[in-house]
């Protein structure tokens, strides 16, 4: 599946910046390969930078990583519900509350990276289990339409967004 297969009716315009950053290749290949690149990049960051905040109230790199993990989990759950034709409207989540209560800065980078790998492997397995009909299904999330296949793009683009932020503001 490529980004060109997704229509604007499949997601809220709020997600457009993430969709734009998702790349132009096969989404599922990118889910498989991106995490290896990200792990190598995160491992290359000096330890003294992992707790750095470029401004008051901004997250540390460890908090960003756990935010990526949490967000991927939430979106994978949404994808599963929608793919399985659950008609329940799915709620949003408060990313700032999630980060504030994550204890990310007290964890080792190794444990965060291990969790990231586990979540990504689960996400890949989940998306590989969907057929074309499941991928095209649309549900309601935070009062807006959202398709399963758009979720895969959002996960990738959201990750790209935060990696760009790390490069621009932390390193």
For 21-32, what is each residue's pLDDT tens digit? 998 778 888 998
Categorize the per-residue pLDDT at 62 as very low, low, confident or very high, splitting at 50, 70 and 90. Answer: very high
- Tell me, what's the pLDDT at 4? 81
- The domains of the chain are located at 3-169
- Mean pLDDT, the chain, whole residue set: 95
At 141, list the tokens: 């999330």
**Calpha distance 161→171 (Å, rounded):** 15
**3-169 CATH fold:** 1.20.120
Q: What is the DSSP letter of 8?
A: G
Distances, alpha carbon 58 to alpha carbons 68, 75, 101, 151, in Å: 15, 23, 15, 26
Name residues whose C-beta falls within 8 Å of residue 15's C-beta, 6 or more positions apart in sequence: 146, 150, 154, 157
Residue 21 C-beta-side C-alpha neighbours within 13 Å: 17
Judged against a pLDDT cut of 90, whether residue 67 lies above it is answered with yes
């Amino acid at each position: 599946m490529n980004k060109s297969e997704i229509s604007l009716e499949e997601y809220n315009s709020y997600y457009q910046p993430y969709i734009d950053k998702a790349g132009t290749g096969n989404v599922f290949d990118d889910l498989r390969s991106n995490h290896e690149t990200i792990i190598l990049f995160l491992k290359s960051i000096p330890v003294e930078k992992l707790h750095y905040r470029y401004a008051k109230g901004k997250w540390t790199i460890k908090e960003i990583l756990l935010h990526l993990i949490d967000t991927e989990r939430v979106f994978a759950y949404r994808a599963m519900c929608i793919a399985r034709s659950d008609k329940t409207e799915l709620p949003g989540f408060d990313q700032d509350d999630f980060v504030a209560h994550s204890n990310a800065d007290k964890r080792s980078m190794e444990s965060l990276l291990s969790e990231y790998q586990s979540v990504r492997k689960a996400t890949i397995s989940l998306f590989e289990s969907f057929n074309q009909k499941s991928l095209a299904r649309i549900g309601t999330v935070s009062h807006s339409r959202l398709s399963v296949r758009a979720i895969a793009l959002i996960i990738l683009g959201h990750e790209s967004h935060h990696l760009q932020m790390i490069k621009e503001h932390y390193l």
